Chains A and B, each alone.
Chain A
């Protein structure tokens, strides 16, 4: 059943991809691992960057939330600054996940968070503090990282 849902969603995003996203399968034939290349919103400090995101749909999907990992390094308070690049907030939290949510909705959330970081919900407390107290320095590093990793 889960698979049926994933097929339907995949068909939908292929025919009608969410703004700024190119979606493919990481491995041919594995519906549970999606590959997204997201163009950062043009009004965000990440503008011009292309970020590779891997979305892992658990076996229990849609009863368990998908897992998001940024494969492109990103200086952002809501994305872990490690090799995983995990993002987990809002609707993606297991205790807030709603099975009717679709991946397209998740991608919309990701773009919103790129444009407007949520420092109070941060996974990188250092980056969040900098974002709140020294916005200039934060933006400089973020832009540096975009040109370094995300072009």
Chain B
């Protein structure tokens, strides 16, 4: 009896699960919203989820939902791809990508697809690219993209294009993927897990789609797994593009909850790309080379240099800059710190004590100073401490280093103040100088000049002026 009932129950459960339709309401791709919404969604969930979702907004400021109809993974990657192109904000990049994707029709042919079948799908992709690239001019590319991805015809075609690219790429690169799809063959795997219209993307599909679509475009993919594994933050899996960090064309960030993908954003993904003047990379050097920097600059500190605001590889003196902490001999004397003094060194009889040196404003270029390395917590104002440290400093600039106590015969004390010198980085007042010290305006001296025969002080000069 019980056996029969269990059987019936199972059949009933089987029927229910077959008839189960996931909640497929909502837009195909939603508006961007603050990621705190995810945390409130999980407010009543178990502690692991609560902790992980609570930590999420610290890393990702915004997110965007994708409709959970079983194709959300494809949709999220496809949308992210277009959004990354929009973020670059360059119509030429769209043209590049259209050209590249058109050339990929060859692998569709090689995989046995019929041009008249796939052209309907690819044409929608290219039309979408042109539409968005045109709307870059009017500044509503984001809105156009969102509207197009909520048009089922466009969205299904683009996803189908991605699907066919992925399957064709895997079939034409079977040797790369065959080990990952065992016991199936690559062909069987594609037929069962990539080709069918409702098939959701899974790990192999994601990595193949990244290989064919994202990596060559310089776009990275980052997936945060929100599951019940131990930990109080989501696990992040990253697939980097063929470009070093910071030089790619952006990153697509996905939030994976078992069976579902949404799109995440860091604050820097949202702000328009041009506003903060970033160190301008020079794309020609590295665009697709696997180890690009090595051929261009052999600088140990290259990463550090790029972090300096206003610095870039365009700077032909980058090599000189990096010499300061790591000991190239040529310019050792200029790396010697000098005691900060007012830039006009004329001895001034002052009755007031010399004004306390105000902490210099954060220099536009925080130079790789030896002391900064030794004691990284020290603010740049710590320059005066520099001299005594010289002997036992862990960073010895050069074997030609001057003796300790050598008079501070430094650049700013030198007499030759030609305009060429003053405007060069050999001048400590130049922000590229390792001993950068901004010129300060010392009111005392300005006021003293006309009156220094009789008076010696600011207050008197003012009073005499007003008298």
Contact = CB atoms under 8 A, between A and B. Distances in A.
B277 to A, nearest CB: 43
B382 interface: no
A99 B197 CA distance: 6
Interface residues of A, number: 18
B116 interface: yes
Contacts of A151: none
Interface stretch (B152-160, B307-315, B383-391, B450-458): B152-160
A100 B196 contact: no
Given A95-B198, A98-B196, A100-B195, A63 B160 contact: yes
Contacts of B195: 98, 100
A98 B153 contact: no
Contacts of B196: 95-98
A45 B113 CA distance: 34
Interface in B92-142: 113-114, 116-118, 120-121, 124
B196 to A, nearest CB: 5
B164 interface: yes
A4 B120 contact: yes
A99 B153 CA distance: 13
Contacts of A100: 113-114, 117-118, 164, 195
B117 A102 contact: yes
A8 B198 contact: no
Interface string A33-48: 0000000000000000
Nearest to B124: A1
Contact of B197 (A12, A98, A102): A98
User: Which residue among A12, A94, A100 has the maximum number of chain B CB atoms within 10 Å of its CB?
Assistant: A100
A71 B279 CA distance: 70
A7 B152 CA distance: 20
Contacts of A95: 196, 198
Interface residues of B, number: 18
Interface in A57-105: 60, 62-64, 94-100, 102
A15 to B, nearest CB: 13
A108 interface: no
B135 to A, nearest CB: 21
B114 A1 contact: no
Interface in B212-269: none
Nearest to A100: B117
Contacts of B157: 1
A5 interface: yes
B200 to A, nearest CB: 11
User: Which residue among B156, B195, B197 has the maximum number of chain A CB atoms within 10 Å of its CB?
Assistant: B197
A72 B164 CA distance: 37
Contact of A1 (B113, B118, B153): B153
A4 B114 CA distance: 15
B198 A94 contact: yes
Contact of B120 (A5, A12, A60): A5
A96 B153 CA distance: 20
A93 to B, nearest CB: 9
Contacts of A94: 197-198
Contacts of A60: 152, 156
A1 B120 contact: yes
Interface string A1-22: 1101100100010000000000
Nearest to B199: A95
A60 to B, nearest CB: 8
Contacts of A102: 114, 117
A4 B152 CA distance: 16
Given A5-B120, A102-B117, A97 B153 contact: no
A67 B160 CA distance: 21
A96 B157 CA distance: 17
Nearest to A2: B153
18 contacts: A2-B153, A5-B120, A12-B116, A60-B152, A60-B156, A63-B156, A63-B197, A94-B197, A94-B198, A95-B196, A97-B197, A98-B195, A98-B197, A99-B156, A99-B197, A100-B113, A100-B117, A100-B118
Given A95-B198, A96-B196, A100-B118, 15 more contacts: A2-B153, A4-B120, A5-B117, A5-B120, A8-B116, A60-B152, A62-B117, A64-B197, A94-B198, A97-B196, A97-B197, A98-B197, A99-B156, A100-B113, A102-B114
